[in-house]
């Protein structure tokens, strides 16, 4: 059996397109959800007939707003996945959900469809900030959503937050983090707002209408978050991700030991391990390829409906529009950029050797020496292997570090 391979399914529907969002998602197309689900099942069956033998350790429904699908729609997608793949008995299966799009009945149905983790897009607890982001919920809806999820039996919840919003103060960010901790999530993600080209936020910022987030304040928010969550017993295992520290103390996070509630699906990405991307606009990394699917919903449905696709080999499907055969150099670059995000586990020389056949310093001696001298990377020894990881300063300046590993 070959390397475990995860599955990402993209659900590109939202009730409203938020002004800061550059994801592949569409508002006002909910009428096409049934046809989209049928097409997604066809893509699952297509790849299921071609795949090599592997186990699926994690499945992730991302979006868009996956929680717009009904319980029976999740059930039929999960049934297709169980028929097509060998899914691990304890697989982590996550859906992203907007707090305002769930009900007790829907969550019961989702739980029965073997989905065992929910990631709620909370973003802020402050009504004015949520309005500015054009999010349709308020924090009371979040409280209700978490309570409903607990009652439906979910014991693995992530709450997603965004900081460095225009006009956000350190105090308002602290209020959000403290309120969120009251809800006792197993996992917290906190990302700085990025102003994406092509979004209304990006356009308004370039015209000077939207105040840019202050980078020094953003750094203060990030540093405060690292300290506060650590004191609150959440282990930071990735630049922007924390997991409730149930058994593992922060000091015991090692190359292959993570907190119990670390997101197993995202660890697959950060460890540069393979995953299939299914659905409109999904990206995948498997069989030596990085590839992506067609963006538009209608074209995606048409491509899966018209089944004249003789010469496609794993992992490509009728929906694939971009494919890149990875060179070893591509894999090494991606590996460094992904693995260095794991702020405690870092990159182990022993793993690098077993993946690429040479020592880390044989390939990156100058880069590592420069980064260690600049105080951005530190070297430790763990289980007899040298481990390289970001320092606290390196976490703030991650992009400068990653650039050193790009050709």
Q: Which residue in 58, 98, 101, 158 binds ligand SF4 (CB under 6 A)?
A: 98
The rounded distance, in Å, linking the Cα atoms of 382 and 49 is 42
Using a 10 angstrom Cβ sphere, with 0-12 exposed, 13-18 middle and 19 or more buried, the burial of residue 56 is buried
Q: Which of 17, 150, 203, 283 binds ligand SF4 (CB under 6 A)?
A: 17
Q: Which positions from 299 to 338 touch ligand SF4 by CB under 6 A, shown as an x/- string?
A: ----------------------------------------
Stretch of residues binding ligand SF4 (CB under 6 A), selected from 39-47, 62-70, 164-172, 216-224: 62-70
Question: Among residues 98 and 236, whose Cβ is nearest to ligand SF4?
Answer: 98
**Residue that has been written with the tokens 């930071």 in this structure:** 236
Is 26 a residue that touches ligand SF4 (CB under 6 A)? no
HSE toward the beta carbon, residue 126, CA cutoff 13 A: 20
Alpha carbon distance 308, 279 (integer Å): 18
Q: Which of 7, 14, 69, 332 binds ligand SF4 (CB under 6 A)?
A: 14
Query: Are the CB atoms for 42 and 304 separated by under 8 Å?
Result: yes
Report DSSP letters for 375-403, one per residue: TSEEEEEETTEEEEEE-HHHHHTHHHHHH
Q: Are 104 and 50 in contact (CB under 8 A)?
A: no
Among 21, 118, 263, 390, binds ligand SF4 (CB under 6 A): 21
Binding mask 101-140 for ligand SF4 (x = CB under 6 A): --------------------x-------------------
Shortest distance (Å) from residue 37 CB to ligand SF4: 18
Q: Least Å distance between CB 19 and ligand SF4?
A: 9
C-beta nearest to ligand SF4: residue: 21
How many angstroms separate the CA atoms of 323 and 14, rounded? 27
Q: DSSP string spanning 77-117?
A: HHHHHHHHSEEEEEEEEEEEE-GGG--HHHHHHHHHTT--E
CB of 27 to ligand SF4, least distance (A): 7
Q: Which residues contact 371 (CB under 8 A, 6 or more apart)?
A: 377, 394, 401, 404
Q: Minimum Å distance from CB 292 to ligand SF4? A: 17
Given 11, 56, 64, 387, the residue binding ligand SF4 (CB under 6 A): 64
299 CB burial (10 A radius; 0-12, 13-18, 19+):
middle
Residue 240's φ and ψ, nearest 5 degrees, are -120, 20
Stretch that binds ligand SF4, among 59-67, 106-114, 146-154, 310-318 (CB under 6 A): 59-67
Number of residues that bind ligand SF4 (CB under 6 A): 11
Contacting residues toward ligand SF4, per CB under 6 A: 14, 17-18, 21, 23, 25, 63-65, 98, 121
């Amino acid at each position: 059996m070959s390397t475990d391979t995860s599955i990402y399914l993209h659900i590109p529907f939202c009730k409203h397109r938020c002004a800061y969002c550059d994801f592949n998602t569409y508002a006002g197309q909910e009428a096409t959800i049934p046809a989209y689900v049928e097409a997604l099942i066809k893509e699952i069956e297509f790849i299921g007939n071609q795949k090599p033998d592997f186990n699926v350790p994690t499945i992730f429904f991302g979006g868009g707003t996956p929680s717009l699908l009904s319980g029976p729609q999740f059930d039929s997608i999960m049934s297709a996945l169980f028929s097509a793949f060998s899914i691990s008995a304890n697989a982590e299966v996550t859906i992203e959900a907007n707090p305002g799009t769930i009900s007790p009945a829907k969550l019961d149905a989702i739980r029965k469809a073997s989905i065992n983790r929910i990631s709620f897009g909370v973003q802020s607890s402050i009504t004015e900030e949520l309005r500015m982001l054009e999010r349709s919920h308020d924090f009371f809806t979040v409280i209700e959503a978490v309570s409903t999820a607990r009652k439906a039996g979910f014991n693995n919840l992530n709450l997603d937050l965004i900081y460095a919003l225009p006009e956000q103060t350190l105090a308002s960010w602290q209020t959000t983090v403290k309120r969120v901790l009251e809800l006792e999530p197993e996992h917290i993600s906190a990302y700085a707002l990025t102003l994406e080209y092509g979004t209304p936020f990006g356009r308004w910022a370039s015209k000077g209408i939207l105040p840019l987030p202050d980078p020094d304040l953003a750094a203060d928010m990030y540093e405060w978050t690292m300290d506060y969550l650590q004191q609150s017993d959440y282990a930071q295992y990735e630049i922007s991700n924390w997991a409730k520290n149930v058994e593992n103390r922060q000091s015991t996070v090692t190359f292959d030991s993570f907190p119990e509630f670390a997101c197993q699906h995202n660890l697959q990405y950060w460890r540069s391990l393979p995953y299939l991307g299914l659905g409109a606009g999904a990206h995948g990394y498997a069989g030596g390829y990085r590839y992506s699917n067609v963006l538009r919903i209608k074209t995606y449905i048409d491509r899966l409906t018209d089944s004249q696709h003789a010469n496609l080999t794993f992992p490509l499907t009728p929906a694939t529009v971009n494919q890149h055969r990875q060179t070893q150099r591509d894999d090494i670059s991606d590996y460094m950029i992904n693995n260095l995000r794991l702020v405690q586990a870092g990159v182990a020389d022993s793993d690098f050797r077993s993946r690429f056949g040479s020592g880390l310093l044989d390939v990156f001696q100058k880069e590592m020496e420069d980064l260690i001298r600049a105080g951005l990377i530190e070297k430790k020894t763990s289980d007899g292997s040298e481990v390289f990881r970001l320092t606290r300063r390196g976490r703030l300046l991650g992009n400068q570090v990653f650039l050193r590993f790009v050709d």
